[in-house]
Amino acid sequence: MVTTIYLIRHGETEGSEAKRYKGSIDVPLSENGQRQIEQVAEYLNKSYRTYKTNNDKLKAVYCSPLSRALKSAEIIAEPHGLKPIVIENLRERSFGIWEGMTFTEIKEKYPQEFEAWANNPLKYSPMGGESTIEVRERAISALNKIMDNHNCNRIQDAGYRMQDKKNHESCIMNLASSSSIAVVAHGGVNRIMLCHIMGIPLENIFRIEQDFAAVNIIEFWEKYPVVKLLNGAAIG
């Protein structure tokens, strides 16, 4: 069985042009953000309308509790007759006292804290906030929960073995049992899950871009995942 996960970032938010760290602040989608997600919904629904196969119709849509992700998930779920399933651990990283500030403002107001973060970006947490490693723990927990819900094997390691090739060939012969789901989360959380999925060190999180309404496509085979699209833009 092959499970396809569409990992999506929410659409553009109100005030996003200021490039402030929103984190756990509940900021709604902008009008443009809603249009972006409507394009994503059309993109995901297009193959189902074209081929009319159960493999192309979403079986479930999961999302963060923050309204920008929840609203995005509702738009994506509606054509498939689904209601989003909220998972608390998919919420964006909390930046504590840094939330609502720009990069420059943080550097000027909290120079010592900024230097501490620059020296240890994975383990440092702003006052009242979370570290990247802390977010990884809950993000991977959320991913594992989703995989368990759909009888999909959890990621064990990044190694590719000959046995994996046999499993891959076996799955190709059993595509009738495939299913597709969507996960709508945030830039930081998506980057963390993608590092885990691709088996690369968390230090590479800053080398992965996640634009507003980005679509990532991952096929989960029996023993390993295959990334088919990274930071894609939907065209309805």
Write down the pTM of the prediction.
0.88
Q: What is the pLDDT of residue 33?
A: 97
Contact of 101 with 21, CB cutoff 8 Å: yes
Residue 216's H or E segment, with its range, is strand 215-220
* pLDDT given at position 151: 78
Residue 115 CA to its chain's centroid (Å): 28
What's the average pLDDT block by block, 10 residues per block, for the chain (236 residues)?
93 90 94 97 76 67 98 97 98 96 95 95 96 98 94 63 44 55 98 96 95 96 88 79
> What secondary structure letter does DSSP report for 152?
-
- Taking a C-beta distance cutoff of 8 angstroms, is the pair 236, 217 a contact? no
| Annotated domain spans of the chain | 3-93+131-232
Token pair 């009319």: residue? 52
Active site residue 10: yes
pLDDT of the residue at 158? 46
The pLDDT of residue 168 is: 46
CATH superfamily, domain at 3-93+131-232: Phosphoglycerate mutase-like (3.40.50.1240)
Q: Which of 12, 74, 80, 92 is catalytic?
A: 92
Q: List the structure tokens of 18.
A: 């200021």
The answer to whether 193 touches 139, Cβ cutoff 8 Å, is: yes
- Alpha-carbon radius of gyration of the chain: 18
CA gap 88, 86 in Å, rounded: 6
Q: Edge-to-edge, what's the strand order for the sheet holding 85-86?
A: 85-86, 58-63, 179-185, 3-9, 215-220, 225-232
Count CA within 13 A, CB hemisphere, residue 85: 12
Contact 38, 236 (CB under 8 A): yes
